[in-house]
Structure 1
Amino acid sequence: MATALQVTMSSLAPSSSSPSTRRRTLCCAVNSKNSAKIPIPPINPKDPFLSKLASVAATSPETLLNRPVSSDTPPYLDLFDSPKLMATPAQVERSVSYNEHRPRRPPPDLPSLLLHGRIVYIGMPLVPAVTELVIAELMYLQWMDPKEPIYIYINSTGTTRDDGETVGMETEGFAIYDALMQLKNEIHTVAVGAAIGHACLLLASGTKDKRFMMPHAKAMIQQPRVPSSGLMPASDVLIRAKEVITNRDTLVKLIAKHTGNSEESVATVMKRPFYMDSTKAKEFGVIDKILWRGQEKIMSDAASPEDWDRNAGIKVVDGI
C-alpha cells in the first residue's frame, strides 16, 4: 500500500523538464492518431473571431500550441490577416444577442433633423453667430424648395439678455428681418418661450394668419438700449445715442406695419417695456392664433388680469 502511494505521488509531482520538452510532448499527443478529439462547442457562424479560431484548431492545432512564449501580439490575434477582421468594432458583428438591439448607424444630430423638417429654431439672443446660422438656413431652405413653407420657432430675448444687458447690435435683428422679407416661401412663426425686442419683430413679420404663439409664451417690445460706452469720448457717445434713436424709429415703423397699429400707439407703449401674454399679443396684432391644444374652454372661463384687479379692488395708477 505504501509503495503504491509513493508511485502515485511521484507521478503527480511537478516535472523538472523544460517548457519546450513539455510543449513537444503535448504536440505529439495531439498529433497522435490514437488521441481522442476534443469536442468543440457550437460556434456562432456570424462571429468571425470564433469561427476562424475553431477552423484553425480543427485543421492545424499545432499553430495554436507552438506559439512563441514571449509574443508581443495578444493571444490568437495574429491569425487574422484579413483587414476586415481588424476593422472597428462597429463593423464586426460579435454575436446575435449583442447586435439584436444595436443601431445600425449613428443617430443624426438634432439641428439636422429640424432643418430636414424645414424648421429654423432661434433659441438664443441675436448675436452674430446666431444671425449667420439663421440666415444660412433660410437661404438653404428656399434653395431646396421655394414653394414649401418655412417654420421659425422663436425663444429669444432679442439683442439683449434677460437681465437687459446688450449682447448684440440692433442690426442683427434687422438682418434676419430683411432676409425673411426676401424669401419666396411662406413664413410660419411660432413663439415657444419668449419673443423680446427684435425677436418679437421676427414673430410679427411672419405670413399673415401664419403667426402663432404657445399659451404660456411671452412677447415684449421695448426701446433699443445704448451699449456700454466705456471710455469713449462724449462726442462718440452722442453719435451712438443718435444711432440708437434711429434704430428705435425703424423698429417702431416695422412693428406698426406688421401689427396694424399706428406708429404713435406703438411708440407710446414702447416707452417702457410692454409685456404681452398670448391673449394680449393676439389683440395687439403680433400673432394671429394661439396654439391652445384643447385649452380653449379653460382659458375662456378664466378672468382677464384687468377683471382680477377690478374684482380685487385694485386701482390702476399711471397705466401700470
Structure 2
Amino acid sequence: MATALRIPMASSISCCSSSSPQSMKRCSFKPCAALNSRNSAKIPLPPINPNDPFLSRLASVAANSPEKLLNRPANSDTPPYLDIFDSPTLMATPAQVERSVSYNEHRPRRPPPDLPSLLLHGRIVYIGMPLVPAVTELVVAELMYLQWMDPKDPIYLYINSTGTTRDDGETVGMETEGFAIYDAMMQLKNEIHTVAVGAAIGQACLLLAAGSKGKRFMMPHAKAMIQQPRVPSSGLMPASDVLIRAKEVVINRDTLVELLAKHTGNSIEAVANVMRRPFYMDSTRAKEFGVIDKILWRGQEKIMADAASPEDWDKNAGIKVLDAV
C-alpha cells in the first residue's frame, strides 16, 4: 500500500532533477499534481467485518489520515498499527449467539423448571397427594390458568390420591378441600379428562367421577373407594363443639352422596347403602358402578368382558357367600 503511494512522488522528483530547461518546463507542474493526487487518493480497502472494531478503526484511519499508516517508524516496540488506538484490543468481542434451551440435552444451559410446570405445559394436572390446603390451592390455580390459556382445549386430570384422609385413615384435611376442586371443575368451560392411577379414595373418587362424560378413565390395576367422611380429631373440645362438628360431617356426607349419585347414574339410596362401609372398586367394578367410562389398557376391555365376575367364580366353585359382618 505504501509503495503504491510513493511511486508517483519518486518519478516526479527524478524528472525535475534534469538540468534541461525544456524538461524543467515540462515537469514544473508535476509535484503539485502528485501532491494533490496523494491527498485525493483513496486507499483500496478489502471487505471488512463491521462488527470488528479493530478493522473498522483501521479502515477509518486509512480513509481519513493515510499518513499515519504510510509514515511508520522503522524500529518500534509497538505491534503494527496498534499505536492508533488509545486502548488497543487484539480481538473483537465474539458475537453473542442466542441458543435455544432444550431440557432434553445432557447439560442444559439453565436449570429446568419444576415438574408440575412441565406437565402444565402439556395441559396435565396431577394430584398425587392427599387433599390438603396446599394441594387444593395449586390444583385450582392450575385449572383456572389452563382455562385462561385456552377455553376450548381439554384438560387432563390425573388422580392418585387418598382424598382428605391418609392411607391409615387419619384425617388430614376438611371435606371442603375436595369440594373446592370439584366446584372449580364444574365452572370450567373445558372438557376435563380424568384418569385414575394408583388410587382414588373418598373425595378423590368424586373428582374422578366428575370428569366429562365419556372421558373418565382408569388404569387396569388402579383402585377406587368411596367412604363416609370422618370426624376430625376433637382433642379436648367441649361436648357441644364435638356435636357441632359431627353434624357438619353428616352434612358433608349427604352432599358427597348426592354428587356421587349424580355423576355415577345411581340412586341416592344405592350410593348411601354402599357407603355405609368402605366400598372398594377395581377398574371393572368402577366401570359397572358408573365411576368411569373406560379402562386404559390395550385390549383390556375385551379381556375383562370375557372374564367371570368374582361372584360367578364363587358360584361355579361351589362356595357359598355369607352376609358381611
Cα distance between partner residues in 2 of 1:279 and 1:101: 42
5 Å-filtered alignment, 1:199-238, equals 199-238=204-243
5 Å-filtered alignment, 1:303-318, equals 303-318=308-323
Does the CA-based 8 Å contact 2:209-2:216 persist in structure 1?
A: yes
Distance 1:259 1:296, change over 3 A: closer
Cα distance between partner residues in 1 of 2:208 and 2:106: 43
Counterpart residue type for residue 187 of structure 1: I
Cα distance between partner residues in 2 of 1:298 and 1:212: 17
Does the CA-based 8 Å contact 2:295-2:301 persist in structure 1?
A: no
Does the CA-based 8 Å contact 2:157-2:194 persist in structure 1?
A: yes
Counterpart residue type for residue 216 of structure 1: H
5 Å-filtered alignment, 1:243-282, equals 243-282=248-287
Residues 155-185 of structure 1, C-alpha deviation per residue, up to 9 Å, x if partnerless? 0000000111100001000111111111111
Following TM superposition, by how much is the alpha carbon of 1:313 offset from its aligned partner in structure 2, in angstroms?
A: 2.8
Counterpart residue type for residue 262 of structure 1: S
| Match of residue 163 from structure 2 | 158
Counterpart residue type for residue 126 of structure 1: L
Counterpart residue type for residue 178 of structure 1: D
Cα distance between partner residues in 2 of 1:165 and 1:101: 43
Does the CA-based 8 Å contact 2:130-2:162 persist in structure 1?
A: yes
| TM-score, structure 2 normalization | 0.66
Please, which runs of 5 or more residues in structure 2 have no aligned partner? 1-76, 78-90, 99-104
Q: Return the index of the structure with the highest Cα Rg.
A: 2
Residues 232-251 of structure 1, C-alpha deviation per residue, up to 9 Å, x if partnerless? 11111111000000000000
Following TM superposition, by how much is the alpha carbon of 1:307 offset from its aligned partner in structure 2, in angstroms?
A: 2.0
Cα RMSD of the aligned pairs, angstroms, is: 2.4
| Match of residue 288 from structure 2 | 283
Percent identical:
88
Residues 19-68 of structure 1, C-alpha deviation per residue, up to 9 Å, x if partnerless? xxxxxxxxxxxxxxxxxxxxxxxxxxxxxxxxxxxxxxxxx9xxxxxxxx
Counterpart residue type for residue 139 of structure 2: V
Number of residues of Structure 1 aligned to a counterpart in Structure 2: 228
Following TM superposition, by how much is the alpha carbon of 1:298 offset from its aligned partner in structure 2, in angstroms?
A: 3.6
Are positions 1:294 and 2:299 aligned together?
yes
Does the CA-based 8 Å contact 2:131-2:161 persist in structure 1?
A: yes
SS of corresponding position for 1:147: coil
Cα distance between partner residues in 2 of 1:297 and 1:260: 23
Counterpart residue type for residue 159 of structure 1: T
* Residue 140 of structure 2, aligned match among 135, 138, 141: 135
Following TM superposition, by how much is the alpha carbon of 1:228 offset from its aligned partner in structure 2, in angstroms?
A: 1.0
Following TM superposition, by how much is the alpha carbon of 1:305 offset from its aligned partner in structure 2, in angstroms?
A: 1.4
Counterpart residue type for residue 221 of structure 1: I
Following TM superposition, by how much is the alpha carbon of 1:300 offset from its aligned partner in structure 2, in angstroms?
A: 3.6
| TM-score, structure 1 normalization | 0.67
| Match of residue 43 from structure 2 | none
Following TM superposition, by how much is the alpha carbon of 1:318 offset from its aligned partner in structure 2, in angstroms?
A: 2.0
